[in-house]
C-alpha cells in the first residue's frame, strides 16, 4: 500500500509521538516485538542462536527490544554494539540500560573476528532511516562480515547501507534474507538494487494510527488488488456486463511498424486485441499491407501512403488523423523508425486529435528531440508515455544513471511538469500520474527484458484507454496485467530467459 521516504516516516513518527501522544518507547516496543516475532518464526528453520548487530540510533534500539523478546522466547541472543554503548541517547539509552540489567550478553565490536559458528542467524539493527551516506568504519566492517558470514540476516526496517529513498545500495550494504519494515515499506525496498538486498519484505504495524500517511501527503503506492480497487478505482477482473457489444469496448488505432520492424506493430496491435477493446485497426505503411494481411485475422489493416518505401518518411499527419476519427484511443511509436521532420509530424497528431494517446518507442524519441515540446498544447485527453530508462533519460535530459538512481522522482517530475502519465519501465515499473501520485508495480520478471515486451505493453494500455479508463487507470492496470501475464508465461518456460514477447500476449 503506501511506500514512504525516510523523511515521510520521520514526520509521521514525530506526529504520532508529539501530537497524538503515543510515546516513542511504545512505538519502539511494538517495533522490537514485531521483529522478535518474525525472528522466532524463522528460528524454527534457521536455528535459535542469534547475533544482534546494534547501531547507536533507534534502529539499534529496536534491535535491543527484539533481543529482550527473543530471550523471553527462549532463544540464545548476543548483542554486538557497533559503537561504544555509552553513545546511545534518549530511548536508545533506555533500551541499553534495560538490556544491561536482564542478563543479555553484549559487547562492543573492536575489530575482532566473530565466531560465526556460535550463531545461526544475524539481526541487522545497525542503520535504519536515519542513515546518512556510506556506512562508517565499524558499521561497514560489520556489514561486510555479516554478508560474508554465510548466516541469514534479518534486517530491521531496511538493510543497513541501503538508501531508504532511492534504493541505492552503498558499498557495503546488507544482503538480507528478510526485511521487517516498520509501519510502512520505504521506497528503497521497492527499487533496485535495494529490492535485491531486502529479501522477503514483511511490513509490521507498530501502532501508528490509520490515516496519518494520507494526512502527511504520502502519494506513493505499491500496487496490489486493494490499491487497484480502492485507489485507482478499477476492478482488476474488469467484469463485463452481459448486454454489451464490441462497440462498448472501443476501437483502438495502432500506428506502428515499418519495413524493418513490422513485428513491433503486429505485437502492439495484437496485444491491444488481448487488452479487451472491441476493435483494433493497425495503421502501417501501405506497401507492407499485402505481407501482413493474414498475420492476425482479427486485426483491421489501414495502409498509410508511403510511396512504396515501406516506412513513415512520406506520412501525412492528416491521413492518420482521419483514420483516428471515430476511434477511442491511438497508440503511436512501436517499430516506426525516425525520419526528417518526424517531430512536426507527431506534434500535428498530438494537437490534432482529442482521443487518448499512448506514446511509445520511437515516438518518445521524437518528443525528446523536439526542442519545441514545451510549446505543444497540453492535451485534455489521457496521454500516456511509456519510456524505458534510456528513453526517460532523453526525455528529461538526464543521464540514464540519474534516472535509475531515483526512478520515482524522475517519473513523477516529468509527469507533473508535462501533465501526462508516465510509465517508467524496468524492474518494478513506476507509473506516475499527472497529478503526482506514483504507483510501483511488483508483478513481472527479468525474462520480460526481451524485444517486443514494450510493444505489448503499449498495446494493452491503448486498449484499456479505449475502454474508457483514465490515463492513470490504464497505465497502472496495464502494467499490472502485463507483469502478471509475463509471470504466467515465465512459469511455462524452462528458463525465464527463453520468454518472448508473444508469450506475454498469449497469457493476457
Ligand atoms: N522514532 C521512533 O520512535 C521510531 C523509530 N524507529 C526506528 O528508528 C530508526 C531510525 O532511527 P534513527 O533516526 O535514530 O537513526 P538510525 O538508527 O537509523 O541510524 C542512525 C544512527 O546511526 C548514525 N549514523 C547515521 N548514518 C551513519 C552512517 N552512514 N554510518 C554510521 N553511523 C551512521 C547516526 O548518528 C544515528 O545515531 C528506524 O529505521 C526504525 O528502525 C522505529 O522504532 C519506529 C519508532
Ligand atoms: K537495519
CATH code: domain of residue 175: 3.40.50.10260
Would you place residue 334 in the very low, low, confident or very high pLDDT band (cuts 50, 70, 90)?
very high
Would you place residue 235 in the very low, low, confident or very high pLDDT band (cuts 50, 70, 90)?
confident
Same domain, yes or no: 421 and 488: yes
The residues facing 354 across adjacent strands are: none
Does the annotation place 183 within a ligand binding site?
no
Beta strand spans in 409-499 (E) = 421-424, 430-432, 438-440
User: Which value, in Å, is the radius of gyration of the alpha carbons in the chain?
Assistant: 26
Which domain covers residue 85, as residue numbers?
3-218
Question: What is the CATH number for 447?
Answer: 3.40.1190.20
Asked if residue 197 belongs to a domain, the reply is yes
Query: To which residue does cell 547507536 refer?
Result: 56
Would you place residue 248 in the very low, low, confident or very high pLDDT band (cuts 50, 70, 90)?
confident
CA 166, 37, 92, 83 torsion-angle sign: negative
Residue 361 is placed in which grid cell? 518507442
Q: What is the pTM of this model?
A: 0.94
Same domain, yes or no: 204 and 255: no
List pLDDT tens digits, range 89-119.
999 999 999 999 999 999 999 998 899 999 9
Q: What percent of the chain has pLDDT over 90?
A: 92
Asked if residue 213 belongs to a domain, the reply is yes
Residue with CA at minimum distance from ligand 1 atom 4 = 28
Is any ligand 1 atom within 6 A of the Cβ of residue 125?
Answer: no
Same domain, yes or no: 205 and 296: no
The torsion defined by the Cα of 305, 310, 312 and 317, in degrees rounded to 10, comes to: 10
**Ligand 1 closest atom vs CA 16:** 3
CA distance 96 to 102: 10
Does the annotation place 264 within a ligand binding site?
yes
CA–centroid distance, residue 6 to ligand 2 (Å): 13
Residue 488 is placed in which grid cell? 504466467
List pLDDT tens digits, range 133-144.
999 999 999 999
CA–centroid distance, residue 109 to ligand 1 (Å): 18
Beta carbons of 362 and 333 less than 8 angstroms apart: yes
Same domain, yes or no: 206 and 277: no
Count of other CB atoms within 10 angstroms of residue 429: 28
Provide the residues around ligand 2 (an ion) whose CB is within 5 A.
124, 155-156, 160
DSSP per residue, 347-387 = HHHHHH--S-EEE-THHHHHHHH-TTGGGSPPPSS-EEE--
Asked if residue 224 belongs to a domain, the reply is no
Ligand closest to 57 (CA) is 1
SS3 labels along 132-156 = CCCCCHHHHHHHHHHHHCCCCEEEE
**Ligand 1 closest atom vs CA 156:** 41
Asked if residue 223 belongs to a domain, the reply is no
Farthest CA pair distance, the chain: 88
Over residues 255-281, the mean pLDDT reads: 94
pLDDT of residue 184: 98
> Do β-strands 251-255 and 279-285 pair in parallel, antiparallel, or remain unpaired?
parallel
For this complex, say whether ipTM is above 0.90. Answer: yes
Is any ligand 1 atom within 6 A of the Cβ of residue 133?
Answer: yes
Beta carbons of 440 and 220 less than 8 angstroms apart: yes
Amino acid at each position: 500500500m503506501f511506500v514512504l521516504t525516510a523523511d515521510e516516516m520521520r514526520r509521521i513518527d514525530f506526529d504520532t509521538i508529539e501530537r497524538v501522544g503515543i510515546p516513542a518507547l511504545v512505538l519502539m516496543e511494538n517495533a522490537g516485538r514485531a521483529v522478535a516475532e518474525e525472528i522466532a518464526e524463522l528460528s524454527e528453520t534457521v536455528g535459535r542462536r542469534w547475533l544482534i548487530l546494534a547501531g547507536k540510533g533507534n534502529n539499534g534500539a529496536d534491535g535491543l527490544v527484539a533481543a529482550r523478546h527473543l530471550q523471553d522466547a527462549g532463544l540464545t541472543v548476543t548483542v554486538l554494539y557497533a559503537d561504544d554503548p555509552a553513545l546511545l541517547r534518549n530511548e536508545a539509552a533506555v533500551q541499553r540500560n534495560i538490556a544491561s540489567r536482564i542478563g543479555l550478553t553484549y559487547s562492543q565490536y573492536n575489530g575482532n573476528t566473530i565466531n560465526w559458528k556460535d550463531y545461526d542467524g544475524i539481526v541487522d539493527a545497525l542503520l535504519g532511516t536515519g542513515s546518512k551516506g556510506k556506512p562508517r568504519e565499524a558499521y561497514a566492517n560489520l556489514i561486510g562480515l555479516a554478508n560474508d558470514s554465510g548466516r541469514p540476516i534479518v534486517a530491521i526496517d531496511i538493510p543497513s547501507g541501503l538508501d531508504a529513498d532511492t534504493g541505492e545500495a552503498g558499498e557495503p550494504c546488507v544482503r538480507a534474507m528478510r526485511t521487517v519494515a516498520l509501519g510502512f515499506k520505504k521506497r528503497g525496498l521497492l527499487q533496485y538494487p535495494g529490492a535485491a538486498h531486502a529479501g522477503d519484505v514483511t511490513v509490521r504495524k507498530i501502532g501508528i494510527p490509520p490515516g496519518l500517511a494520507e494526512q502527511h501527503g504520502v502519494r506513493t503506492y505499491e500496487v496490489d488488488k486493494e490499491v487497484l480497487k480502492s485507489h485507482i478505482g478499477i476492478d482488476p477482473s474488469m467484469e463485463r456486463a452481459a448486454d454489451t457489444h464490441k462497440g462498448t469496448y472501443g476501437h483502438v488505432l495502432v500506428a506502428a511498424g515499418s519495413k524493418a520492424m513490422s513485428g513491433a506493430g503486429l505485437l502492439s496491435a495484437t496485444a491491444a486485441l488481448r487488452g479487451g477493446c472491441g476493435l483494433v485497426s493497425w495503421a502501417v505503411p501501405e506497401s507492407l499491407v499485402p505481407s501482413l494481411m493474414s498475420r492476425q485475422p482479427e486485426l483491421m489493416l489501414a495502409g498509410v501512403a508511403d510511396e512504396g518505401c515501406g516506412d513513415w518518411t512520406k506520412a501525412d499527419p492528416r491521413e492518420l488523423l482521419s483514420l483516428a476519427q471515430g476511434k477511442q484511443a491511438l497508440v503511436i511509436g512501436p517499430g516506426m523508425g525516425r525520419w526528417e521532420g518526424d517531430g512536426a509530424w507527431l506534434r500535428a497528431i498530438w494537437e490534432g486529435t482529442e482521443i487518448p494517446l499512448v506514446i511509445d518507442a520511437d515516438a518518445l524519441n521524437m518528443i525528446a528531440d523536439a526542442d519545441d515540446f514545451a510549446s505543444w498544447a497540453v492535451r485534455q485527453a489521457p496521454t500516456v508515455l511509456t519510456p524505458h530508462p534510456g528513453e526517460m533519460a532523453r526525455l528529461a535530459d538526464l543521464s540514464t544513471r540519474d534516472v535509475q538512481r531515483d526512478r520515482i522522482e524522475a517519473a513523477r517530475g516529468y509527469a507533473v511538469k508535462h501533465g501526462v502519465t508516465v510509465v517508467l519501465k524496468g524492474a518494478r515499473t513506476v507509473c506516475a500520474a499527472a497529478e503526482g501520485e506514483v504507483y510501483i508495480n511488483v508483478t513481472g520478471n527479468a525474462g520480460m527484458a526481451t524485444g517486443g515486451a514494450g510493444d505489448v505493453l503499449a498495446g494493452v494500455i491503448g486498449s484499456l484507454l479505449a475502454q474508457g479508463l483514465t490515463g492513470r487507470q490504464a497505465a497502472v492496470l496495464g502494467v499490472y496485467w502485463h507483469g502478471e501475464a509475463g509471470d504466467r508465461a515465465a512459469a511455462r518456460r524452462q528458463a525465464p530467459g527463453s520468454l518472448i514477447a508473444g508469450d506475454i500476449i498469449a497469457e493476457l
